[in-house]
């Protein structure tokens, strides 16, 4: 199994994990090496220097693909796509505003520099202070990329030219996701920013330079759920979303909220969710849809990761042993393994069936962001 991570120090790393080496076996081998190193150190003469201890874990091979340690180049968004040459590449959105395309061999293929990210902001919105721009979503094809910032700024730009569609949506966007079959179609939402679905290729914008508000209607615009039992308005906080169908014209979308719910929208049926489950005890920040089975994986801000069946809304599994908030989720190609990256700087691999046992883990030294 091979995974790629982006961290807060600006590094993109590759991790190979041997599924044939179990976590318990690897830990036992590491403990034996540590014990042998301690015995060897005890027999050294005062003039001899002790060798560096081997702290590696069997079954894990890790290397740096690109980057040098720099907080200004921290990875905020990371995705993979096919390049024009037919090779797979990584597309990274950095804290300084750059969009970099990097080959798996570390070769720099493209860079777009966004000077707007150097601008300091002080905007009060929804009772919060927005002090600067950051990427909240990134998608790419072999010819274009689509990026979204927390300011609601959408950039759909070609790699070959500077031609771009610049779109302005409401402030305080929290997450943007592109459709896996048609990357120009994207969903976006945030704090007091209900879910909306747009097509960057067909949207009509106001005639002005720079970022412009859309004149045409979105493919879909969600409507808030009814008032609560006290007849009070329910606050909106969309934290993540996933397209759960291959139909980009009338998609079905799963949405997580900061108020512990997972909602399912059918754009053909109605603007309000067709299913609304309050399934967590804490704000849900990350959502991942399985491409193999009708399942969702979600994680909250307390280090809890769960698996649920979309058809019933019931939990089918829990992944234990994670310390700190989860920063990212990824699923293997066959859907049998789930990788979880947390604030504790570990990438853990779990099985998605049976007892959901941890299969392996890798310590990446820096805090993983993607």
Q: What is the pLDDT of residue 15?
A: 87
Q: What is the pLDDT of residue 44?
A: 66
Burial of 77 (0-12, 13-18, 19+ CB in 10 A): buried
Q: What is the pLDDT of residue 67?
A: 80
**Listed residue (273, 299, 297) closest to 284, CA to CA:** 299
What are the residues whose beta carbons fall under 8 Å from the beta carbon of 74, sequence distance 6 or more?
7, 8, 9, 10, 94, 95, 369
Asked if 311 and 319 touch (Cβ cutoff 8 Å), the reply is no
What are the residues whose beta carbons fall under 8 Å from the beta carbon of 237, sequence distance 6 or more?
174, 190, 191, 192, 257, 258, 259, 283
């998609």: which residue's tokens? 251
What pTM did the predictor assign?
0.88
Residues 70, 147: Cα–Cα separation, whole Å:
22
**Listed residue (106, 107, 100, 109) closest to 74, CA to CA:** 100
Q: What is the pLDDT of residue 92?
A: 95
> And the tokens for 68?
């040098």
Per-block mean pLDDT, blocks of 10 residues, the chain (370 long):
89 83 59 64 65 61 87 92 90 94 92 88 82 92 93 92 89 93 94 94 85 92 93 94 92 95 94 94 94 93 92 93 89 90 90 88 87
> And the tokens for 12?
């993109």
Asked if 361 and 340 touch (Cβ cutoff 8 Å), the reply is no
Residues 360, 3: Cα–Cα separation, whole Å:
13
Q: What is the pLDDT of residue 34?
A: 64
> And the tokens for 8?
């807060």
- pLDDT, tens only, 132-182: 899 999 999 989 999 999 999 999 999 988 888 999 999 899 999 999 989
Q: What is the pLDDT of residue 29?
A: 58
Asked if 148 and 186 touch (Cβ cutoff 8 Å), the reply is yes
Residues 226-258, buried b or exposed e (16+ Cβ, 10 A)? eeeeeeeeeebbbbbbbbbeeebeebbbbbbbb
Residues 73, 151: Cα–Cα separation, whole Å:
19
Within 10 Å of residue 204's Cβ, how many Cβ atoms?
Answer: 10
């Amino acid at each position: 199994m091979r995974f790629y991570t982006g961290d807060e120090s600006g590094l993109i790393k590759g991790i190979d994990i041997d599924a044939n080496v179990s976590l318990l076996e690897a830990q036992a081998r590491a403990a034996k090496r540590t014990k042998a190193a301690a015995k060897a150190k005890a027999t050294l003469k005062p003039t001899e220097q002790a060798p560096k201890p081997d702290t590696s874990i069997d079954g894990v091979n890790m290397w740096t693909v690109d980057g040098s340690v720099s907080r200004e180049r921290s990875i905020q968004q990371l995705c993979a796509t096919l390049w024009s040459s037919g090779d797979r590449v990584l597309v990274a959105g950095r804290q300084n505003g750059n969009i970099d395309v990097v080959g798996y061999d570390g070769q720099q293929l493209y860079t777009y520099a966004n000077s707007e990210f150097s601008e300091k902001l002080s905007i009060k919105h929804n009772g919060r202070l927005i002090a600067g721009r950051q990427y909240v979503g990134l998608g790419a094809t072999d010819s274009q990329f689509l990026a979204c910032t927390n300011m609601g700024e959408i950039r759909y730009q070609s790699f070959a030219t500077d031609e771009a569609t610049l779109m302005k949506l409401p402030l305080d966007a929290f997450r943007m996701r592109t459709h896996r079959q048609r990357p120009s179609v994207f969903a976006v939402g945030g704090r007091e920013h209900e879910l909306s679905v747009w097509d960057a290729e067909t949207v009509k914008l106001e005639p002005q330079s720079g970022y412009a508000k859309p004149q045409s209607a979105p493919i879909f615009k969600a409507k808030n759920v009814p008032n609560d039992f006290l007849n009070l308005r329910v606050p909106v906080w969309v934290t993540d979303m996933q397209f759960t169908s291959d139909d980009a014209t009338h998609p079905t979308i799963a949405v997580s909220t900061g108020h512990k719910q997972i909602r399912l929208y059918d754009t053909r049926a109605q603007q309000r969710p067709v299913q609304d489950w309050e399934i967590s005890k804490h704000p849900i920040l990350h959502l991942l849809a399985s491409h193999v089975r009708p399942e969702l994986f979600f994680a909250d801000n307390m280090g809890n990761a769960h698996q649920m069946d979309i058809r019933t809304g019931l939990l089918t599994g829990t992944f234990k042993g994670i310390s700190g908030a989860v920063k990212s989720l990824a699923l293997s190609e066959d859907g049998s393994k789930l990788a979880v990256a947390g604030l504790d700087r570990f990438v853990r691999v779990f099985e998605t069936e049976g007892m959901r046992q941890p299969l392996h883990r890798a310590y990446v030294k820096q805090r993983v962001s993607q």
